[in-house]
Chain A
Amino acid sequence: MVQQKDQSKIKIAFNSGTRGKKSTFPENLFLDESLPQVNVILVNQSKKNKIKTDPNELLMEFHCEV
């Protein structure tokens, strides 16, 4: 009954002329300044990632009125 995962079906057209080299991006790609700031550090380890997104969180929000 529960559909947890939505796949984007919309393809975005863009001109990628940067294959093989890094692109540069503006400091912040978000248009909502209230989002948390995140710093990702990539590690090499065989352990599983501890970060788990609880799919119920999205559902709990959705079960609300606003």
Chain B
Amino acid sequence: MYEASANFHYSFQAQTNQVSKILDKIKLPDTPSVFTLELTSACNHHCEGCGNVFSHDEEYLKYDDWKEIINKIKKHAFSLRVTGGECTLHPEFDLIIKEIEKLKVPYVIFTNGDWMSPDEMLNLFKSCQHCDGLLISLHGYDAESYYSFVKTEAFDRIVANIEKSVKAGLKVALNTVLNKYNYQKIEKIVKLGKSLGVFSIAFSRYCGQNLNEFELSKQEFLTVFHQIIQFNKHDKSIVFNNCVPACFDSEGYPTKACTSGIIHCTIGPDGFVRPCTHSPLKLGKINEKSIEEIWRSDGLKYWHSLIPENCLNCALFNQCRGGCRATAYHKNLQQDPFINFSNIKKTKDVETQTLKINSNARLSVNYRIKTQDFGYFLINRNRHIPVKKEAAPILSYLNKSPQIKDIEDKYGKQALNFVGTLIVAGLVLIE
């Protein structure tokens, strides 16, 4: 892995203007609020396109170290992702999970589903109060396509464990990295996921160095990308998992805005903080620096400076944030290879959605608040909505679970529409 100070050559003087423009657009919080914990580098699979930036040499921090880290991030963490390597292989996995539970924030466990003692593992998962569920990797639709990517004969075991997990009442989402062995048969993965009763089926683009044998060409990716978008139109549980630049094709389908180095950071099995799970860029060691210090570091500024300048002129910037910088790094490119500046949108089609709501409907908040110099972040898991300080009276009033008509009576039409947007975003619930 790389350390920003040692291995990256960059000049912030030249990039200061660009970085400040970027920071102004993205509303960088003073600390991250979504933490990915890579508990161990160990893994029992040998995926061709493994997304880890370390080798599976079984380097890991002990329970006591993770306990200290969990305590350190306690006041900053609004949600967590627990991963590895294969996180369940950590010899003190159960103790670490119990420590995470003490934070009382939602978290997801990312696993390959190949557990030594499935019943024991399921009992542990079932005892978790704050775990939202499992994200289980399933990179093929049958034993052959699975083996082609994972290089481990485990398909039947994984499918059986997914089935057991669902029957045990756990929420399971599937994750499939698109590759040459599966991209023409994604309907088979969807069918398999549905038959297993999973609640979501997610597809990801490969993020790593060039692997021509199984990596999709742009055209192949575009075809399957459109297919997933069509699936999603009819079934919201079929989703795209990571970011594809909005300018990738002329239709301008933004997938997910990259959150890495903005609201999200990864803590590796060596205790170093990185902006992204797929990036080797080290920002500092968690037990040597404060989170605030790390989030103000030159390394993080460097990470932001990797957003291409042209992207700042794009009307969809906040829905995209410049594609995948980790992919650009792995391929030794200046920018995500899927970026196509000729498709950049200078203006955004603004559609106003009309909501008819019963005036007596009662509201309840479905967010937590993070106070910043510029205003507030309203947060529920990945969703972070930055709002101005002037919204404070409305936010305070919403805590009283008012009827929606009271919002208009007390604060007027703008406030009503403000609350409407939060309802659409799922951050305010109505009865």
Contact = CB atoms under 8 A, between A and B. Distances in A.
Interface in A6-48: 6-12, 14, 16, 18, 22-45, 47-48
B283 interface: no
A45 B405 CA distance: 13
B33 interface: no
A42 B416 contact: yes
A25 B412 contact: yes
Interface of A is mostly: loop
A30 B353 CA distance: 16
Main SS of chain B's interface residues? mixed
B264 interface: yes
Contact of A66 (B243, B393, B411): B243
A23 B411 CA distance: 5
Contacts of A54: 236, 426
Contacts of B374: 31
Interface string B392-431: 1111100100001100111110111111110111100111
Contacts, number: 255
B365 interface: yes
Nearest to A62: B381
Is the interface on chain B under 10, 10 to 19, 20 to 34, or 35 or more residues?
35 or more
Given A30-B386, A59-B381, A1 B106 contact: no
Nearest to B354: A39
Contacts of A39: 352-355, 417, 420
A8 B369 contact: yes
Interface in B318-364: 318-319, 348, 350-361, 364
A55 B364 CA distance: 14
B365 A8 contact: yes
A59 B421 contact: no
Contact of A33 (B318, B354, B360, B414): B318
A5 B401 CA distance: 14
A39 B316 CA distance: 22
A23 B393 contact: yes
A8 B426 contact: no
B258 A66 contact: yes
Nearest to B134: A63
10 contacts: A1-B131, A9-B368, A16-B393, A36-B421, A39-B353, A39-B420, A44-B358, A45-B358, A61-B239, A61-B382
